[in-house]
Structure 1
Amino acid sequence: MDIPDGKEYTEGIIKWIKEDPQIFAAYRTRQGEYDTLLFTYHENITAYQLWMSTVPSILQINYGVPEDQANFESSTAYFSNQLMIKYNPSTGINLIERDFKEKGGLKLRGYELDEVDLDILRCLVNGMGIKTNNTLLCEKTGLHRKTIKKRIEALQQEGILGAPVCRFPNFFVPPNYLLTYVLIQFKQLDEKVLNELIIDTSIPIAIQTIHGKFNMLLFGNHSSLDEHLRWEEGYRTMFPDSFCSAQITYLSPEMTIYFNQQTVSLCYIRSRLGETKGVDLGRTIRQLEKARARVLYNFPKGKS
């Protein structure tokens, strides 16, 4: 999407990005035809279309963005987490350790790491030394400790919760590292390619997809642009008959507008606790338009 020029409009849109529960991350970008890249999560395509259709009215009513600035051009790519072949947000620790050894030291956000820091980081991002505070949960919920324990075990067994771990502030991107958003066309997605992606320490997330000519989406972590280019060339060398083309977007820490790793889980929990019936898209849009008319023209309720 393109964020309109003008400080007074931009501030309202940025505030919306940071407050909208569907938006997981947002980056400024100078690649492609748009200047902003949003990562959003939705239950299905209908839910996304409902959300997207109401955005202009929400921007006008809640954030004071003028009508001509609240409608912006955008393009959408859909990716299903049911086609995820790799999910390992902690892979970044391998890059940190590699760079520490190669450089004889490493500074992240002005902090000079040492061997002890690396040991602690590796333990925490892999869930070692972290456990659920059942006493606190008992106090918050009023439930018995045994009930809490059984429910947590059930949620983990069903794949709804994972074991507690400590993530990087930007989830699967270590501080100071470059995030790459890569769409790749593999002529053959065979076992060799998939196995290489799974063991690749530069790839925390890989999703099989169909988007134009591309059939794989990779989120990558790299220390620099040069390092990513070497990584790409390595794949071209390993799979000369399979690696066809790639569309790469580079997202540096300085380009980050917003990143909230808790958005998805909290949004899901709220949706389960709230209304579970199907949403009438047309009715919702009409309600927002009526609310907008009341704001713009001072109509009393029931008269718009």
Structure 2
Amino acid sequence: MSNITLGDVEMTRVEEMHGPVGMTPDVFFPASPKHQWDEHRAVVVPDFLDEETDICKVAVQTWVLRSEGKTVLIDTGVGNHKERPYAPLWGHLELDFLGNLERAGVHPDDVDIVVNTHLHVDHVGWNTRLEGQSWVPTFRNASYLMPKADFEFWNPANNPKIAGGVNQNVFEDSVAPVYAAGQVELWETSHHIDANLRLQAAPGHTPGSSVVMLASGTERAVFVGDLLHSPFQIMQPEHNSCFCEDAHASRRTRQELLGWAADSNALVVPAHFAGHGALEVERSGSSFGIKRWASLERL
């Protein structure tokens, strides 16, 4: 099953790619001790950690929501034909992501809203596609919701640290063209998408990192973006990924959101979980555990 219905909202998982990210746990999650990974090995192997190479594994995927007659995409992956000098695994790709979307019943022109939970390289790539020598919006009828804090932070004109980093060229080829086309709506603090869906600021991973809160009937879910890269962080929420801009804020936000999800019996939907892709969590002392995995297959 690749679809789940939550109240009046249908949710579909559409994968761009999955596999190893070229980093061992101590690199991906700095200061995370080996004995903790050994303790949780039964949870992370094989979907999130390769047992033979000890390399972490992730998925890059888009969550498609159909709500109140509209089609909403949460995050748009890496994209094709992009120049990524400091992320070579993601450069000059030729993947059939749009074909995967079509197989899920979504044509690019059918998309009403695109949500970028934050503006990292692997969350905005399919915002645009190459047409001749120009980057143009992939979803030409959509409104693109972007957090203002990230829009300002990742603009190279405001932040010289981008040069030489993993996000080099990203603003220019995947954000600015959509803004120039008049399709970007910048928001702060919170933003109601519709009666079922709400964007909420969740800073730490990046200054503008956000989550999508779903509340429909008795069903609850939270699309947490990059607050979680591995289920290891559910049992050990004190550990950030190496890509978090504000370590303290990331830990605090992760702890708060996991606590809310456990108390609300909400489905937690990270951006990069392979395997079943989504789960419910429960409190386990001062930390958390996995209550159950969702029944989601790749599409």
For normalisation by structure 1, the TM-score amounts to 0.22
Higher radius of gyration, 1 or 2: 1
Higher relative contact order (CA 8 A, sep 6+): 1
For normalisation by structure 2, the TM-score amounts to 0.22
Q: Is the helix fraction higher in 1 or 2?
A: 1
